[in-house]
Structure 1
């Protein structure tokens, strides 16, 4: 056969294949491989951590030694070193752990805007999975729920540890919690609300949980029954009581601890079921992916 004819046949065969490949097929492999991370590096419980700013905010990602298929990740909000044992285990199993410090914004629209940019960078530039497992500790509950409400299609599941679900409870202190006046003032400023406007505010997570339920996002909370800082009956229990019955049984679970420590006013405790949390996050995040210790001293 004439060599020039063979070359032309090969060229046109390759051109034909390229034209009829499904859109995005060629880029699929690269989208599943995180790009190099740049920034200051250190260690977090033995794993490499890379620090970088997000809109001037502190943020970082902890990188597993070997990423699981699809690059699943956990987004921790507030107190990333509290009850960290689940995150360390998930790192061992190939999850990335991400953190963005927006703790002074109390889940306000500005915090959500920063969060959107953080999410976009991690998924588009670094190839992390499009659906993320959200973890919120204490006031971090305000951020993870408000971000999930704004982005329900991007959330695989929600795990919350003694979460604030209504800013009137904390930092407002308008119920059983003594709250924090300084943080309440900061919260009002962050949302751009007067005191009365905040008391009438209809958009706390406790008010909008039905949207999370309708999106069929699995939810697991852990609470302390004697928590005086974030009383469960003003937060988790109130919120869960508003979930329509048809969603509550399968998608809303609670781990209830009888007593937290006296020093923490019931807010801190030894985690009784870290393995259950690991299983919960793996089950829902890996499935979603296939479809597409220091204790805090203040809230």
Structure 2
């Protein structure tokens, strides 16, 4: 990332110095500061060489996802890692590092890494949480910094990384970097040795992906990567560490260490997730609980990657027998929203259990992750039905906008062949959900919408590509093309003047369901837009309640 005005100012100053007969000091160029294996910028920060390798301009974004690399030394990153870094840049992820010398995770090394972090996040528009990449002794660099700043880390990748400094470089070599004697460092290991403080990272749910040889004599697997995984498992977070052990390999330049696709995919995924602040920093307001209703919050129903998915369960305080369940799926364009706002909670006052679920948003995963998560919630409810007094054979779904899109698919998509617990539902209430992604206006190039705009649509973010480029995937993600005669009953409600999702989207789905012999009712709400107060009237709420009573309660066992 260059700064043209900086060059102009430097040139002007040099000209004045020469005109005054003063000999100007030669200026270091980026190439003189540090030689990079891929195009980028080398610069001085706090007097230390630093670098940024940027993706192609068309793949950059704001905030810019990035990987913080260590150890940045004159020879690193080196040619062995070139393939990995090419994959990062091609995926739109930048790579940066600062030469902290042989810091071994010391406070001074952490300070320099923080200086790089501040430069990139405050001055250059980089994301608040990079994925960290530590190779060999770089593992000490990144794990120590992560322990000091867990809220600034999206994940940690490692190639035979060091986490126990007593194994490498050993106390004698590490002590000078800490400004201590060997004995003093040994007495302060609980403060300075990363492996002693892994619980901080486990508690913050920082995920790892590591590749390590089982014959490593320099950085022994057992005391480093395997021990980190063991401590994570002890903390109940073992699923957050993916440890790839290579039999017969040591601390060497075996190509497989540097062409590890799972590690590359992990780093890209976590770096892109780092555009969001840490979950722990996001304060959510709890859903008010109506009179006569009890809430059990934050039940973990799935753990598809580094962050768990949770649901809130609402039940009548007084309930006789297993309760039919209505699952609420929130909207928000697949990019925002949460389980914490649940309009369906009032049904818990009328003999239903209500589950409000989260699912992965598009900054975390693309299709079909969203429908996979919804299905996982249904399976979890069935598996835990006896524990929570639920009728696992009577489950309905209700969602609005993007949530309407997902519940319509829950009612029409064929269930996965390999599932051992059914994810099928018995009733669907779809509020103004997109049902045909191919014809949704934001996904269609027209006189009003350029291809560049279509590429930035919510549909493109959901599918991972502009919708016109992936028509088969778009059909698979559209309820209109999935209708069959065995689908459950539908109640579809849509605003007459919806500016976001055309009424035609619901009309066409209703017609297709009716043609297939599926029970479907379409209610067009006069003067209503995309949600709003017209959907909160007693009449609308009564219509929804009566639909679920007919489909779930009257047929309950």
Alignment of 1:80-95 (within 5 A): 80-81=77-78, 82-95=80-93
The correspondence for 2:29, drawn from 13, 31, 40, is 40
Match of 1:150 in 2: 148
Structure 1 residue 94 displacement after superposition: 1.2
The SS at the match of 1:202 is helix
Structure 2 counterparts to residues 150-169 of structure 1, below 5 A: 150-169=148-167
Q: Deviations over 1:16-74 (max 9, x none)?
A: xxxxxxxxxxxxxxxxxx784878345845x4221111212111111111214531011
Alpha-carbon distance in structure 1 between the residues aligned to 2:184 and 2:253: 31
Segments of structure 1 that go 5 or more residues without pairing to the other structure are 1-33, 173-183, 293-299
Structure 1 residue 195 corresponds to structure 2 residue 186: no
Structure number with larger C-alpha Rg: 2
Task: Please list the CA deviations of residues 193-239 of structure 1 after superposition, one character each: whole Å capped at 9, or x if unmatched.
Answer: 22222223213111001110111111111101000111111211122
Instruction: Work out which of the residue numbers 270, 288, 291 in structure 2 matches 1:284.
Output: 270
Q: Mapping of 1:1-299 within 5 angstroms? A: 36=3, 40-41=29-30, 44-45=36-37, 47-66=38-57, 67-78=60-71, 79-81=76-78, 82-172=80-170, 185-200=172-187, 201-203=189-191, 204-245=193-234, 247-260=236-249, 266-271=251-256, 274-291=260-277
More displaced 10-residue stretch of structure 1: 218-227 or 275-284: 275-284
Aligned residue for 2:273, secondary structure, equals helix
Judge conservation of contact 1:86–1:277 (CA < 8 Å) in 2: no
The count of residues paired between Structure 1 and Structure 2 equals 243
Deviation at 1:274, TM superposition (A): 2.4
More moved, 279-288 vs 119-128: 279-288
Residues 68 and 279 of structure 1: CA distance in aligned 2, closer, same or farther (over 3 Å): farther
Alignment RMSD = 2.3
TM-score normalised by length of structure 1: 0.74
Q: Find the aligned partners of 2:177 and 2:235 in 1 and give their Cα distance.
A: 35
Give the distance between the partners of 2:95 and 2:190, measured in 1 at CA.
Answer: 32
- Does the CA contact (< 8 Å) of 1:148 and 1:155 recur in 2? yes
Asked if the contact 1:158/1:217 (under 8 Å) is kept, the reply is yes
Contact preservation (8 Å) 2:229, 2:238:
no
Alpha-carbon distance in structure 2 between the residues aligned to 1:279 and 1:252:
14
- 1:188 Cα deviation from its structure 2 partner: 0.8
Deviation by residue 1:55-103 (Cα, 9 ceiling, x = unmatched):
1211111111121453101111023124332221110111111021124
Deviation (angstroms), 1:113:
0.8
SS where residue 238 of structure 2 aligns?
A: helix
Deviation by residue 1:277-297 (Cα, 9 ceiling, x = unmatched)? 2221222222231458xxxxx
Secondary structure of the 1:129 match is: coil
* DSSP-derived class of the 1:120 partner: helix
Higher relative contact order (CA 8 A, sep 6+): 1
What SS does the aligned partner of 2:216 have? Answer: coil
State the Cα distance separating 1:246 from its structure 2 match: 5.6
TM-score by length of 2: 0.41
Asked whether the 8 Å contact 2:160–2:251 carries over to 1, the reply is no
Alpha-carbon distance in 1 for matches of 2:253, 2:117: 29
The alpha carbon displacement at 1:114 in A equals: 1.0
